[in-house]
């Protein structure tokens, strides 16, 4: 018996929603193994033994636990999070990569998860191949390290804000680092900037 190519954890207290998601996934073309968990602590235990690719959860469960979630995501950077939007008014969580609603079709839900899987695989390949940044990405990274906002970087480099955002995404994909402090440490360790040159 071959191993599934995708491990998906569902962190959802509602048994009905969880079983519905499991049915959608098992009836799809995704080659996956589903792990049902009920707490962040169970997620941490699972991640120690299973290479979970995607976590499906309602981001409202992370209220007052953002710090713990960020720590998990930092420790397991290849973990993607798909948020379940229950249809109530809520902002897109900064802790999720993509989301879907309970009212979306099974096909749409599978497409969202496939997109996350594709992004994960692409990031892993790119990271394995090369994390060298282009000249322009280094310029954007230097601006970020010095505390510049996207608009300030765009103005100083004479490029659009959209281009700055694209370069930032490329930097994150290549380095696997999402946080400002992590990028600063990366830039110093790669000798892109010197500590004494950082403007605080």
Q: Are residues 30 and 77 located together in one domain of the fold? A: yes
Number of domains in the chain: 2
The CATH number of residue 145's host domain is 1.10.10.10
Query: Which segment, 42-46, 93-97, 127-131, 189-193, is predicted with the most confidence on average?
Result: 42-46
- Which of 128, 163, 179 is the C-terminal boundary of a domain? 128
Which pTM value belongs to this model? 0.61
Q: Are residues 163 and 86 located together in one domain of the fold? A: no
- Which of 81, 111, 128 is the C-terminal boundary of a domain? 128
Q: Is residue 1 domain-resident?
A: no
* Position 24 pLDDT exceeds 90: yes
Q: Are residues 144 and 101 located together in one domain of the fold? A: no
Alpha-carbon 61 to chain mean position: 17
Greatest CA separation found in the chain?
57
* Position 4 pLDDT exceeds 80: no
Neighbours of 100 (CB within 10 A): 19
* Position 198 pLDDT exceeds 70: yes
pLDDT at 130: 45
- Which of 128, 146, 175 is the C-terminal boundary of a domain? 128
Please report, to the nearest 10 degrees, the dihedral formed by the alpha carbons of residues 179, 181, 186, 188 taken in order. 160
pLDDT in tens, 53-106: 999 998 888 878 888 888 888 888 888 999 888 866 555 566 788 889 888 999
Domain that includes residue 176, residue range: 135-197
């Amino acid at each position: 018996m071959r191993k599934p190519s995708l491990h998906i954890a569902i962190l959802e207290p509602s048994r009905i929603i969880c079983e519905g998601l499991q049915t959608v996934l098992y009836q799809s073309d995704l080659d996956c193994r589903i792990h049902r968990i009920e707490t962040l602590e169970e997620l941490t235990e699972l991640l120690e033994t299973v290479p979970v690719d995607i976590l499906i959860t309602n981001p409202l469960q992370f209220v007052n636990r953002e710090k713990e979630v960020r720590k998990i995501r930092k420790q397991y950077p290849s973990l993607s999070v798909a948020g379940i939007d229950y249809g109530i008014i809520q902002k897109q969580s900064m802790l999720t990569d993509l989301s879907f609603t309970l009212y979306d079709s099974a096909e749409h839900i599978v497409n969202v998860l496939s997109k996350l899987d594709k992004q994960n695989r692409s990031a892993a390949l790119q990271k394995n191949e090369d994390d060298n940044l282009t000249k322009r990405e280094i310029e954007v990274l230097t601006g970020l390290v010095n505390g510049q906002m996207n608009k300030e970087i765009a103005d100083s480099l004479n490029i659009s804000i959209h281009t700055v955002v694209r370069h930032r995404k490329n930097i994150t994909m290549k380095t696997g680092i999402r946080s400002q402090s992590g990028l600063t440490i990366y830039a110093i360790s790669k000798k892109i900037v010197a500590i004494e040159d950082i403007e605080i």
